[in-house]
Amino acid sequence: MQVAIVGSGYVGLVAAACLAEIGHTAVCIDNDAAKIAALERGDPPIHEEFLPVLLERHRGKTLHFTTSLEEGIRKSAIIFIAVPTPPSESGDADVSVVESVCQDIARRMNGFRLVVVKSTVPAGTNNWIRRVLQRNGVQAHCFDAASNPEFLREGTAVTDFLYPDRIVLGCDCGRAAEMLKQVYQPLLDGSYAASKNAIPAPDDALVPARLILTSSASAELIKQGSNAFLAMKISFINAVANICEATDADIEEVVDGIGSDQRIGRKFLKPGIGYGGSCFPKDLLAFRAVARDQGYDFRLLEEVKRINEEQRRLFLRKVRGALWTLKGKRLAVLGLAYKGGTDDIRESPAIGIVQALLREGCEIVAYDPAAMKRAKAEFQPCCSIRFTETAYEAAADADALLVLAEWEEFAALDLERLREQLKHPIVIDGRNVYSREQMRKAGFCYFSVGRPETQPDVRSAIQSSDAAA
């Protein structure tokens, strides 16, 4: 099929590349000319596993990029809208870009079109889209509108798209449902997964993907409800982690016990410095605003947000607890992205913590495998922050090492080498990347989230320094 995707952010770009991968001809439209030019050259603007492979496979063949909405929608019967819906002053999602794209589509339509919203939007948006199209001269029989929320995560976006837990199609008429089922057929019948050059499926992939057909309003709520629930799981476990610290319990053991209940599950119960990114913080506010507009005060969501913000403050307190005074201390920071596996620093708890430490007079030496370019732009040149090419360089002569994002690369570091770099063998881990046992053996004073503080195993530290001598 021929499909158009308006917006080349995370969702739009990944959707366009994956739709080409499952056999469609996709055109991705964005009004950012520099971004489109880069994509036409094959330079992905984001760090995302498998995206370069998909661009290489399909760019210029069944995957095209353009700044012209007209060109993009002329031949495409289905138009996906994947533009940003940032928070407004009051917290609700600003859907003005969605509206203006619909007005533009209405002016350029030359036949029947199915307009599908992929952006995260408040319940009721589909009804507004119908109204906007009609107000702009499109007759009711010339279009359908549908909601097809996306559940991909940054860092694993391509495999999340190609091997989803579920495909939600919010359609208020049979024709829209049939068209969208056809789009996703290779994922719904498992034929994509069985194809020769398929991107490898994650171990826990559900093949074929489950189809969930709903009304458009339900689909919109499924998306907002999913993100709010996941954020709530994280805040819940962070609150439990804080109680663990006060009672000398170990959150890893507690999560193992709680998560073994199949009704609860282990996923998204990883404690840390809180969630960040372009979705959870914004979507939580937007969901609360939707509830408020309907006359329901969803206060639980406010508490989820409060606990999340508290995690950063508690982490800073932990740093102070480990180092006493902060002024003039040199701190190595590993991880600046809002989580491992991405170069995205939007609403990153790591950035917030680094800013607070700089205000306290610390000197920061930071390393992140992918987010450094974006992070550099975030700090004034006069700030006491330097960036290094490796984790070991960041650790050189530092008073302590802070882990702020859960990159696999950090878990695989040579801990002996890391310890030798540091001025003092102190690690404060905001993401529980290491086990306490591992850090004890490697000779570190180790502070983490929801677990008792660990002191070095003196014997192994002496043995390793003897061996080095």
**Among 74, 108, 153, 423, interactor with ligand UGA by CB under 6 A:** 153
State how far the Cα of 447 lies from the Cα of 318, in Å rounded to an integer: 8
- Binding ligand UGA by CB under 6 A: which of 47, 118, 339, 441? 339
Q: Decide if residue 150 touches ligand UGA (CB under 6 A).
A: yes
Q: Is 432 exposed, middle or buried (0-12, 13-18, 19+ CB in 10 A)?
A: buried
Q: Based on CB atoms, which residue is closest to ligand UGA, 24 or 339? A: 339
368 touches ligand UGA by CB under 6 A: no
Strand order in the sheet with 363-367: 385-387, 363-367, 330-334, 400-403, 426-429, 445-447
**Nearest residue (CB) to ligand UGA, 208 versus 276:** 276
CB of residue 344 to ligand UGA, shortest distance in Å? 8
Q: Which of 28, 152, 391, 404 binds ligand UGA (CB under 6 A)?
A: 152
Residue type, 110: N
What token pair was written down for 216?
């458009």
Q: What is the 3-state secondary structure (H, E, C) of 254-279?
A: HHHHHHCCCCCCCCCCCCCCCCCCCC
Among 8, 85, 147, 227, binds ligand UGA (CB under 6 A): 227
Given a contact cutoff of 8 angstroms between Cβ atoms, the answer to whether 364 and 331 are in contact is: yes
Distances (CA, A) of 255 to 226, 447, 449: 21, 18, 12
Q: Given the complex with ligand UGA, which of 76 and 120 has the nearer CB atom?
A: 120
In the complex, the smallest distance separating the C-beta of residue 110 from ligand UGA, rounded to whole angstroms, is 32
Closest distance of CB 314 from ligand UGA, Å: 14
Orientation angle between helical segments 216-247 and 251-259, nearest 10 degrees: 140
Which of 282/441 has CB closer to ligand UGA? Answer: 282
Minimum CB distance to ligand UGA smaller for 39 or for 241: 241
CB 341 within 8 A of CB 410: no
Query: Site for ligand UGA (CB under 6 A): which residue of 98, 117, 138, 269?
Result: 269
Query: Exposed/middle/buried for 141, CB within 10 Å: 0-12, 13-18, 19+?
Result: exposed
* CA dist list (Å): 350 to 325, 340, 362, 395, 412: 20, 11, 15, 17, 20
Distance CA 421, CA 447 (A): 18
Stretch that binds ligand UGA, among 68-76, 131-139, 268-276, 388-396 (CB under 6 A): 268-276
Backbone φ and ψ for 132, nearest 5 degrees, come out as: -65, -45
Task: Among 276, 335, 425, 450, indicate the residue that binds ligand UGA (CB under 6 A).
Answer: 276
* Angle of helix 125-135 versus helix 216-247 axis, rounded to 10: 140
354 binds ligand UGA (CB under 6 A): no
Give the residues across from 167 on adjacent strands: 211
Angle (nearest 5°) at CA 241 between 238 and 244: 160
Q: What is the total count of residues that contact ligand UGA (CB under 6 A)?
A: 21
Q: Which is nearer to ligand UGA, 184 or 275 (CB)?
A: 275
Q: Cβ 266 to ligand UGA, closest distance in Å? A: 9
To the nearest whole angstrom, how small is the minimum distance from the Cβ of residue 232 to ligand UGA?
11
Among 17, 234, 304, 333, binds ligand UGA (CB under 6 A): 234
Identified catalytic residue from 28, 244, 279, 362: 279
- Judge whether 171 counts as a catalytic residue: no
Within residues 278-297, the interface with ligand UGA by CB under 6 A covers 279-280, 283
The distance of closest approach from Cβ of residue 451 to ligand UGA in the complex, given in angstroms and rounded to an integer, is: 15
String of DSSP letters for 383-409: SSEEE-SSHHHHHTT-SEEEE-S--HH
Binding of ligand UGA by 351 (CB under 6 A): no
Q: Which stretch binds ligand UGA (CB under 6 A): 265-273, 290-298, 409-417, 443-451?
A: 265-273
Q: Is 338 in the site for ligand UGA (CB under 6 A)?
A: yes
**CB-nearer residue toward ligand UGA: 15 or 372:** 15
Q: Cα 246 vs. chain centroid, distance in angstroms?
A: 31
Specify the stretch interacting with ligand UGA by CB under 6 A; choose among 76-84, 275-283, 290-298, 381-389: 275-283
Tokens for 330, please give them: 């040199």
Footprint of ligand UGA (CB under 6 A): 120, 150-154, 227, 230, 234, 268-270, 272, 275-277, 279-280, 283, 338-339
**Residues labelled as active-site residues:** 279
